[in-house]
A and B are shown apart, each in its own frame.
Chain A
Amino acid sequence: MTVVRESVLAVQGLRKTFGAVTAVDGISFEVRGGEIFTIIGPNGAGKTTTLEMIEGLQQPDAGEITILGMKWDRSRNAIKMRIGVQPQTSALFDLLTVEENLETFASFYDRKRQVEEILDYINLADHRGKRVKVLSGGQKQRLAIGLAMINDPDLIFLDEPTTGLDPQARRNIWDIVLKLRSLGKTTILTTHYMEEADKLSDRVCIVDQGRIVALDTPKALIGQLTREREIHLTFTEGDIPAAEAESIALGNPAVTRVKREGDHLIVWSIKPEETLYGLFGFTTERSIQVEQVSIREMSLEDVFIAYTGKEWRD
């Protein structure tokens, strides 16, 4: 069988209002087979409403949703058979064991994976007999992802799978998500962590005030943001050499902005190599000692701030 990179999910002109509030205001995108597609946005941007409409929990006021070539109003059950959802809240049978949860969910579907296989996959084989309520947060999240995989779905929704987890538990989840991609599954992910979006996503969709403000690969988003880089320099001999370096930097045509705080100089440049070459030429000539040099890379966080004008909060 050949893998066709067809459209797994197509969303066209999605709109939803609650009273006077427009939660989703014309969102359109397409998700291709086998990719990890991440939706990020500030609280109240319309992420959850968008997801819930795609998952068939809410009826859109306008717009079309096509999942695996099917529509909710005509093929509700057929769509449910082929998607897997890990919701934000734990949503598990708390008094049932890990294995019993998986078996119960398995009974809902026509196509299913072996419980054994899932247990290995989410690394909970040793805890299969434990009741959910004694599991740690990370274990619960892994089980929730396991339940989303039990029907061997073609499209998986992971809604903030790592929120509230410690770094190790978060990395465990990342491994599972990347394994899903290696199986050729399509994943739609939301997250509060920019690092996560950057590491996992094939494409990132930034939503603000019910609209898509940017959609591309993380690399392209950062690349198209600006060429400007932030250079930090600290001088051993204090304020005077720093002030002299400041005036040199200001004379460089590639430099857009300079800021000095005592012996600490910050230079924004669209050609950081050229600017640094000029600055180090000056310091070498004058035998000025530079204690620290660094160039800050742009991240998705900067992309987020640039597009939404809002500070990112984890």
Chain B
Amino acid sequence: MMRVNQWNQFKKLFGAHLKMMFRDKSVWFWSIFYPVLLLSVFIMIFGSSSDSFSAKLALVEPDKNAVSQQLLHSLQEIDVFEFQSENPVKREDAEQSLKDLEVDAIVILPESEGDGYIKLLLNKEKQNSSTSQAIASILNNLVLQGNMAGVKAEPGLSLQTDYISAGSEKLEYTDFLLTGLIALSIAQAGMFGMIDLVEMRRNGLLKRLIMTPASMGLFGLGGIVVRFILSGIQIVLLSLIGVLAFGAHLNINIGAFLIIFLVGTLSFAGIGFMIAAFSKSMESYFGMANLFSFIMMFISGIFFDVNALPEYIKPLAHFLPLTYFADGIRDGMVYGLGIMNDAFWLNVGMLLLWGVTTVLIGAKFYKWKEAR
């Protein structure tokens, strides 16, 4: 008896998925053209004005002393800081400048060697801005370093890393946005892509396939491989445009990047599967997928940093999978961070948790035939 050729069957099923995906004009629009459009528009609007982070400070030195002098030198060495004037100014003048938004912040150096306080004055109206946050974070690192020096301890490796990534590395918005949009487009392709499951149930194709001896495992595998191809195209295309047209900087750690890419693509497909399980029609599917995608788009750190969000929304940002996916993609593509750090495993872990949970829920509720 002739045997069914499994490889040939896989090729046919994979081919069917491939054609279903790339003959669908909406896939070209939403998964390929739309992210490119978003990237271009956002970089054109926000990219040029904030090419690299910098802040203008006013320095106040109430009383010259050894500690204040040392801090003054350290501050002046940080090249993202600009100063209102070379020498410290009077506090009253500095406060007026801050109110008039001539400077982003005022740094008041310690009054005496024993004071132990370095004060940072920020404009109340702008206290949540990313600039304020960044200044605070850089100063914090500076103080930490100063303390280390004070107790004659060698600066630890982690401190050094923190200092570099927060301060002197070029944290360009283009890089931030590019990697965010790569994460977003893979996430959206996954969440919206499972519409096939609703459509194949509606037109009875899924039921029809179950009535053949076709391996549903091979059918599913074909679909997954095609999803990876689409994700791969999105990454290559967006990266090329980002690097060639907008001068983005990539520093890719292949291992970490590939793992986060695989896990992320599968997790968001899992979320799409769960949405499909709860959708009776294409309309309800798109409604739900849009809702998910819309919420995540703005609070998962795609267009601006999660730290810039109001406090009460942050817990939600730390719950959503896209936050971790965008972080993971950034760590792997821009910072070149490998897999040997906690952040990587947190990102992978959260994505796996989302993926496994949604697939389990989806599998419980998905019906392969239309309810009568």
Contacts and interface: CB of A to CB of B under 8 A. Distances in A.
Interface of A: 48, 55-57, 77, 80-81, 83, 85, 87-96, 100, 103-111, 131, 147
Contacts of B15: 100, 104
Interface stretch (B2-10, B78-86, B296-304, B337-345): B2-10
Contacts of B147: none
B210 A91 contact: no
A198 B13 CA distance: 40
Contacts of A83: 211
B1 A107 contact: no
Given A91-B205, A107-B12, A111-B2, A131 B23 contact: yes
A71 to B, nearest CB: 16
Interface in B297-334: none
Contacts of A100: 15-16, 19
Given A108-B4, A110-B3, A94 B203 contact: yes
Contacts of A94: 203
B213 A91 contact: no
Contacts of A147: 208
A109 B214 CA distance: 8
A109 B20 CA distance: 22
A54 to B, nearest CB: 11
A88 B204 CA distance: 8
A110 B4 contact: yes
A77 to B, nearest CB: 5
A108 B9 contact: yes
Contacts of A96: 16, 19-20
B207 A93 contact: no
B91 interface: no
A77 B213 contact: yes
Given A80-B211, A107-B12, A108-B9, 17 more contacts: A48-B372, A56-B211, A80-B212, A87-B204, A87-B208, A87-B211, A90-B203, A91-B203, A91-B208, A93-B16, A93-B19, A96-B20, A107-B4, A107-B9, A107-B214, A108-B212, A109-B4
Contacts of B12: 103-104, 106-107
Contact of A91 (B16, B24, B204): B204
B211 A57 contact: yes
Contacts of B4: 107-110
Interface string B86-129: 00000000000000000000000000000000000000000000
A57 B207 contact: yes
Could you say which of A91, A107, A111, A131 has the most chain B C-beta atoms within 10 Å of its C-beta?
A107
Given A57-B369, A91-B203, A85 B208 contact: yes
A99 to B, nearest CB: 12
Nearest to B3: A110
Given A90-B203, A95-B20, A100-B19, A109 B213 contact: yes
Contacts of B20: 93, 95-96
14 contacts: A55-B211, A87-B207, A93-B205, A96-B19, A96-B20, A104-B12, A104-B15, A104-B16, A107-B9, A108-B212, A108-B214, A110-B1, A110-B4, A147-B208
A150 to B, nearest CB: 9
Nearest to B202: A89
A110 B6 CA distance: 10
A115 to B, nearest CB: 12
Contacts of B369: 57
Contacts of A88: 204
